Structure 1
């Protein structure tokens, strides 16, 4: 059955046809968006994609792709068929000979040789066309040409692919999570307005039950509505398709007077209003994903030590200063060996990290033996300075990259995945207070909440940067949830003092 057409969102979104043909650049009009625009216009004709010497052509009927051609041997119907049921050299030779006798029709040659059933030809054409389009989703450059004059075979109409489902599947295969998040990022803090026909659109894509746009709260922004959703490539690609097809549009936050953006410093009245709710909060340890505080903190320190080992920073690996004397060196080694000895993990509830710590424990011993030898330590100190500077720069850059990914996930309300990135960033660069502050807030906001671990992370942030009002205000909320009213009020007062002093300055 032919899928129902969608409407272009606006006149400016339509493909700008020039007489009977049009052309453009794929870098400014990505192929997935172009396919949905053609579907909205019910385009019938030929779409040609060009990249360097590669040329691929697709026949569209009423906005849906029905047939493809390519100048690449790997895109032929024979090659596509070989991926599912390998053809030997003799069969491939017979196909080429039969193709020449039938005037170049590869599908007819396959039928006459008995390699496929006649009823399977159109299904094979459909799958081949889908695969050829998907492979072009990853093109970062190239151009396209549209031609409305090309004749389309009416017999192919019943075998059209649903463009919405086709685009979703292609995006989940060829666009990673980071790119999909970037595409949706501009709408994170806007408020969704649902189209009346969204229900029909949702049936044509694959969405989990906890991410149904019809159940979204109009008083919450886009990221808040997705706070409890697992943002897999399939889910993100479905949301992208629905947005592009006009299933929902967005309003600026100022248009919704009932919703206010999150304040940087939370006022006293908000904390008081949540007192009863916070005092009854039940914390459930999440042992599967490092949810309990001991496992979370241990994993963070383990990541930092492993990073030091890989960069050959033996002082960082042992946890001591480069100026440490032999006694301090031995003390640091014994403390680290006790903490990371694989045999001690089981009784501390950390047995899942046994394999990771076994290698680290061996490196601890090697580092201690090297630094305990005066001659080897001197050679290490003299030859490691320049290398260490380069590694330090790489360490900071790597931590910043991880933090930027975490920020995107935090805006989406995906606290669980953000925590993993933040812990890695802290492992690389523990001196940055912002990493600890955001980690603490993510631990508190995730479900189930971890206020104890959140307080520890925020304590670290405040110790590094005592004049950061955001960390103090977050600490006030977390302490209130833990029932520590006195410390909560102190933290809030401190945050307000810092803000006031900053304003005066």
Structure 2
């Protein structure tokens, strides 16, 4: 049965919007948001029902998803253009798959689309586009906040999280299962925090359950927290039962545990309430929706829940979607999961893939459910046509890709933002966005790291993508763009670095790394200096050359000053260079400045949680503080005994 939602609360001359999307949750989110802004919305899940509605209604704008069952959104747009009644109707297409400029151009020229929205998009962007096309709503916008609710038996948690990410939503997602109540904080589509009424998920209970805290100390710390009117975590720190670093890790794990537990619910209710922002100070987790969904399905959901998600796709041919905005999410896959994902080339159905990995179904089923629910994989009715290209030698392919990337990197990192994106100062924001997505599809880190290609160039890949993103962010904002244009040095000469120079620099750098690991710091310093001479603005080169010089002569005052200066320069070029913070921490520690050293080590861990050297230093600091506290307590005990 075709589900149709028609909002009748706004009467009179309200502007009418035709909304067509086969995802019921997306329809509900968009309908409610538009209604609250004063529009009247007629919502349908497929094209034929939408066309029939033209007999009884006049519309001011159509909002169409491209991927519709049966007649797709582009075909529907063409049919609207062929009807006299809707030949001039503004049409906005929504898509997560048609990113390239030629796709967008085709949507406009061949099918008659007026504008487009690339998923995921903020609701604010949608309202701005609609208002630009048909003006502000004539009805008075509602004062209530957007609120959507439903049953988990109808819409799974992975689907809800996917939809919130698609709309870059910010708000509170209330979850309820009998007496259990939880609230998930969503910021720009990402789950960042959670509250729960389950006693076993309280901080003290988690610490006792993991053996970090005894029952007796938990009770004492709760009493101290109540007496001082403070949070339990701060009381635990003041009592010396845990360190601030431990508390931060524990709180993040606590939030994650609260979130993952919801994946085990077979049913329940949900309600999302839109908000602008949250109070400061909540402990945020750093986990993409895709990674959270995978972890939840893999470790907490029942097999019946997972199979229910897979059932509609069993006879579809699975293929990795041409959809960068979902594949950009970092998703941690095991070697087995990578093999499963690599088998999805559009030539095999889901049913066949599950048979192929029958012995590892516990791994395959939640993985495929995650990839399908997040749009990383798509199911197609027909198989992908076989390619006539003959396979090339893997080593030669990697060498070619390496040289190609380094050549692009050398040129792109030295260009101004306009040249980098291939736009002019007069180009509109839409053109800037098109150019950005074209570059993103080619240079996003996922493209290089999904199959462990070019791992030694990870920092360069990330640096290039960051520059592309900075260019887009700056030129998309009118104020920032004007400031950038003003600050540019007119006529400043651009240096160009040849591929040969880049390769020479990388060769010298790799030689330096080998020497550095062998603690041959004098020789390593010379190799890094050679790399720096060829490429003077590489953060990694600066950091390693500086630290090699320091290790060669750590006692010289001028060396210490220069080391600090150059490490800060490396951080300026690459703020996520964890080893630079680690080395600064070592210097502060040698100078006796433990407070600053601790701050640097903690920053290193924030940049790279696997920075074992920084973790070791923080543990040693904690042990020293604990020992000093005991000695101080003992001394005072003797004085007053």
State the TM bucket, normalised to the shorter chain: 0.3 to 0.5
With the length of structure 1 as denominator, give the TM-score of the two structures.
0.44
The structure whose Rg is larger is 1
Task: State the structure with bigger RCO (CA 8 A, min sep 6), 1 or 2.
Answer: 1
With the length of structure 2 as denominator, give the TM-score of the two structures.
0.35
